[in-house]
Amino acid sequence: MSTGDKINGKFKGKDIISLDQFDPSDISILFKRAKIMREIGANAKPSDILKGNIVTLIFYEPSSRTFGSFSAAVKQLGGQTVEIQNPQQFSSVSKGENLEDTMRVFEAYCDAIVIRHPIAGTASNAAKIAKFVPILNAGDGNGEHPTQALLDLYTIYEKFKHLNNLTAVMAGDPFNSRTIHSLIRGLSLYKGNTVYLLSPKELRLSREDFTNFSQRGVKLIEIFSEKDMPKNADLWYWTRVQKERFKNEKAYDKVKDSFYLTTPLVKKYAGKNTILMDPLPRVGKIDMTVDDDPRALYLRSQIRNGMYIRMALIAEVLGK
Ligand code: NCD
């Protein structure tokens, strides 16, 4: 399997490793397909698009939404899954089996492998190993989370009907958040987008990412206090400080509750069309009183869209 090839309108057989593989036209193909998938999902009508197909989900890191929605996506389309959560405990990985052997074994059983792993770059390595089936990156350490960004872009597109000239606030942990890394890559494919990155100084984007993303045309503005947030941004994207990426507890404790999304904050800085997003889980970051605000999409369309986008992506990658 090739690693991270550009999609160029053809998804079939491609590994999905990074948002860098996509152009706006590829994203449009997925959005159109996701709309059809929504009908399939809503109708509870059996679909046989993936009949006879098996997809392996192997998650070396915990997951609720990504795992659950990939699993449901395959089943919604009439396919089946081999599911291994925590292979470090429940597979031969616990006996010391390496990634090479693990990938070669599972590719013999299925038509695609969805992998989550704590080390950035592992999905790409898995794609180099697997010769017969595409690999889909469900989050690689603090690298990327392309399917999350695709569903985030779809959620934003549903609201605004375009992805240009948007102002976003991305809060929390830009240094470690793979969802932020992929979403900035996604927004940079369109014109005139500005991203305010709100974080403690310790958690700002790596200088390498900052330079790399800025060169793509997206305007990045780093802020370290809520007071510098723009009023009436189009979207807020609140992320968790990624505890599992910290080497020492003290360093985590220092920054863990840095930015808390509350109703007063929404009242002060959000506009009537600002959408409130979060890849979840929410850990010390959004007050539950915000949930009832109709602008809060994190427990609404952002969740459902995860399944529709993953249905669309798997069907496309399997050439169905
Ligand atoms: C995110 C992840 O795993 O990167 N969760 C998800 O997939 N929806 C965000 C997070 O864990 O904070």
242 pLDDT above the threshold of 70: yes
- Tell me what pLDDT residue 44 has: 73
- Tell me what pLDDT residue 1 has: 36
Residues having CB closer than 6 A to ligand 1 are: 65-66, 139, 145, 148, 178-179, 239-240, 279-280
Average pLDDT over residues 139-163: 98
Which of 280, 283, 299 maximizes ligand 1 atoms within 8 Å of its Cβ, making it the mutation to test the pocket? 280
pTM of this structure = 0.97
Q: How does the average pLDDT of the chain come out, rounded? A: 96
pLDDT digits (tens, 9 = 90+) for 24-77: 999 999 999 999 999 998 887 779 999 999 999 999 999 999 999 999 999 999
Q: Ligand 1 mean position to 220 CA, how many Å?
A: 22
- Reading the block at residue 251, the tokens are 């360093």
pLDDT digits (tens, 9 = 90+) for 170-220: 999 999 999 999 999 999 999 999 999 999 999 999 999 999 999 998 999
- Tell me what pLDDT residue 34 has: 98
pLDDT digits (tens, 9 = 90+) for 192-204: 999 999 999 999 9
Q: Ligand 1 mean position to 139 CA, how many Å?
A: 8
- Per-residue pLDDT band for 3 (boundaries 50, 70, 90) equals low
User: Percentage of residues in the chain with pLDDT exceeding 90?
Assistant: 93
